[in-house]
Amino acid sequence: MIGPMKRLLIIWHSRTGAARAMAEAAARGGAAEPGTTVRLVPAEAATADDLLAADGYLFAGPENLAALSGEMKAFLDRTYYDALERLNGRPYAHMIAAGSDGTGAARQLARIALGWRLKPVAEPLIVVTHAQTPEAIHTSKILTEADLARCRELGAAMAAGMAMGVF
């Protein structure tokens, strides 16, 4: 039996469109699940109040130079003290758009979430675009349907798990 509506907050940042496409795909997946509402908020606009109003989180951002993008990190820094000790045990997952690897940003976000005392409920989803030249790095990214399907599945799994009280 599904209990009261749960609120999934998806915070994203994107320079070239890949992480935004990932976040939007995850939102579509989550919105298709009964018992959960999904809210999609860009990192630049997200606040601690947004975090406090949600029951779980999905973070989507690019890896830049083996770390989270500055805007995503700025969101995390800006909201840390207002959210500290107030999010303990809430579920989260994260998605990283990367040119070649993504593991540096994934580790960084996992470490921050540990400090926030969030509960990881999925392995990081990393989409590698293989952008290696200056031109490829700067251009808008179009993700494959297979990559977008993985993002939809993660959003759906987060929403379903929250709605069923699994996490």
Stretch 145-165: mean pLDDT = 97
Overall CATH class of domain 6-164: alpha beta
CA angle 56, 59, 60 (to 5 degrees): 150
Specify the pLDDT at position 1: 46
Specify the pLDDT at position 141: 93
Asked whether the beta carbons of 163 and 34 are under 8 A apart, the reply is yes
Closest CA to 46 of 75, 4, 66: 75
Task: Using the structure block, give the residue that is written with the tokens 């990190």.
Answer: 73
Stretch 50-59: mean pLDDT = 98
Specify the pLDDT at position 3: 63
Distance from C-alpha of 11 to C-alpha of 45, rounded to nearest angstrom: 9
At residue 135, what is the residue type? E
Phi, psi of 162 (to 5 degrees): -70, -45
In this structure, of 8-12, 25-29, 115-119, 136-140, the range with the lowest mean pLDDT score is 136-140
Asked whether the beta carbons of 151 and 125 are under 8 A apart, the reply is yes
Stretch 80-109: mean pLDDT = 96
At residue 121, what is the residue type? V
pLDDT class of 14 with cuts at 50, 70, 90: very high
Specify the pLDDT at position 136: 81
Q: Is the pLDDT of residue 24 over 80?
A: yes
User: pLDDT by residue (tens digit) across 25-51?
Assistant: 999 999 999 999 999 999 999 999 999
User: pLDDT by residue (tens digit) across 68-92?
Assistant: 999 999 999 999 999 999 999 999 9
pTM, full prediction: 0.95
